[in-house]
Amino acid sequence: MNAGSAVLVSPARVGALLKDAKAAFRAEQVNNPDIDAEWLMMSLLRCSRSDLFTNSEKTLSNQECADFQEFVNRRILGEPPQYIVGETEFYGRTFIVNPSVLIPRPETERLIDAAIPIVRSFVRPNILDIGSGSGNISITLAIDNPDSIIKGVDISTDALAVAEKNKINYGCKNLTFYRLDILKDNPQGLFQIIVSNPPYIASDEMNTLMEDVKYFEPKSALTDDADGLMFYQKFATIAPKLLVPEGWMILEVGGGEHSKKVFEIFNKPEFHNLDFVKDFNGDQRILKVQYRG
């Protein structure tokens, strides 16, 4: 988007400011102009969507007007709204996010849906979350399964700092984060369950991403700079060293041809019970696979 296209939002009532912001977003062809404008205002005022309309005649302070103007201009320049306000929703909870971490997606909630019944089939399971990012997966599992013992690893110290803040916010005592490059080193211990949403976009597909993803989200969380299969190949190799017999891996995949390629990586005698969980668009998004042992 054109950096010179940022517009001023005139100090006014909530309803007028929203109208101006929506018009500006449409003029600059921002995706989801109405939703983004409303969400930015909701975040600014810490209110619900219904409050926006019941308080449409409320006049904002000069500082609030200036802050909202900054939000609008940053969104016009392409920055994701989640980074603008510094948080997002995942599985009914609010998580801190910044450009050091991938923005959690609704389809990743399907990983949680797939994991919970498996987690609850074990007594005090040890769980490993590879590529924790903001910690949204491991923290959600830690809260919903307080008897579990969870380790979250990530190569990025900046991402781990965000995960630690989210962990503190939710008071997770059964969760530990630490730095590890999974492509070079193996975690210590044995686990009943491994979960991961690894970088799976092939390098030659990066240019097809939406601009707010391609230019603002961390590249290392999006792509393996190869064919999008590197991490799954590593997981298949280390699973016998990390999983107990009949332990599970629950992995997000790219859907389409990518899901078929990942399936073939694990379609080996040492694994069984391979099954896909579809996302809300009907794509094969989550692969469940069990290690025979």
By the 8 A CB rule, do 288 and 248 touch?
yes
In this structure, the answer to whether residues 64 and 112 fall within a common structural domain is no
The answer as to whether 244 is a domain residue is: yes
The answer as to whether 85 is a domain residue is: no
The answer as to whether 268 is a domain residue is: yes
In this structure, the answer to whether residues 198 and 229 fall within a common structural domain is yes
Residue whose token pair is 């510094």:
86
The answer as to whether 254 is a domain residue is: yes
Report the phi/psi class of residue 100: left, alpha or beta, with left for phi > 0 and alpha for psi in -120 to 50: alpha
Q: What is the pLDDT of residues 219-267, one digit of tens each?
A: 999 999 999 999 999 999 999 999 999 999 999 999 889 999 999 999 9
Give how many domains the chain has, as a whole number.
2
The answer as to whether 280 is a domain residue is: yes
In this structure, the answer to whether residues 248 and 147 fall within a common structural domain is yes
In this structure, the answer to whether residues 171 and 33 fall within a common structural domain is no
In this structure, the answer to whether residues 162 and 257 fall within a common structural domain is yes
221: which residues sit within 8 A by CB, 6+ positions away?
101, 102, 131, 133, 156, 159, 199
- Cα→Cα distances 126→28, 194, 232, Å: 48, 9, 20
The answer as to whether 228 is a domain residue is: yes
Give the least confident one: 6-15, 200-209, 264-273, 277-286.
Answer: 6-15
Q: Among the three residues 12, 45, 78, which one is the final residue of a domain in this structure?
A: 78
Q: State the CATH number of the domain containing residue 220.
A: 3.40.50.150
The answer as to whether 283 is a domain residue is: yes
In this structure, the answer to whether residues 177 and 52 fall within a common structural domain is no
In this structure, the answer to whether residues 15 and 150 fall within a common structural domain is no
The answer as to whether 94 is a domain residue is: no
Element (H, E) at 66: helix 62-76
In this prediction, residue 11 carries a pLDDT of 61
Cβ neighbours around 105 below 10 Å, total: 15
In this structure, the answer to whether residues 48 and 175 fall within a common structural domain is no
In this structure, the answer to whether residues 21 and 133 fall within a common structural domain is no
Per the structure, the complete domain to which residue 41 belongs is given by: 3-78
Q: What is the pLDDT of residues 137-182, one digit of tens each?
A: 999 999 999 999 999 999 999 999 999 999 999 999 999 999 999 9
Q: Which sign, positive or negative, has the C-alpha torsion 59, 63, 67, 69?
A: positive
In this structure, the answer to whether residues 20 and 62 fall within a common structural domain is yes
Q: What is the pLDDT of residues 49-100, one digit of tens each?
A: 999 989 899 999 999 999 999 999 999 999 999 999 999 999 999 999 999 9
9 pLDDT band, cuts 50/70/90, is very low
- Round to whole Å and give the CA distance between 224 and 156: 14
Q: State the CATH number of the domain containing residue 34.
A: 1.10.8
21 pLDDT band, cuts 50/70/90, is very high
In this structure, the answer to whether residues 113 and 60 fall within a common structural domain is no
Whole-model pTM: value is 0.92
- DSSP characters for 189-218? S-EEEEEE----B-GGGGGGS-HHHHTTS-
In this structure, the answer to whether residues 198 and 264 fall within a common structural domain is yes
pLDDT at 4 over 90: no
In this prediction, residue 10 carries a pLDDT of 54
The pair of structure tokens assigned to 110 is 């399907």
- Round to whole Å and give the CA distance between 259 and 272: 16
Q: What is the pLDDT of residues 43-57, one digit of tens each?
A: 999 999 999 989 899
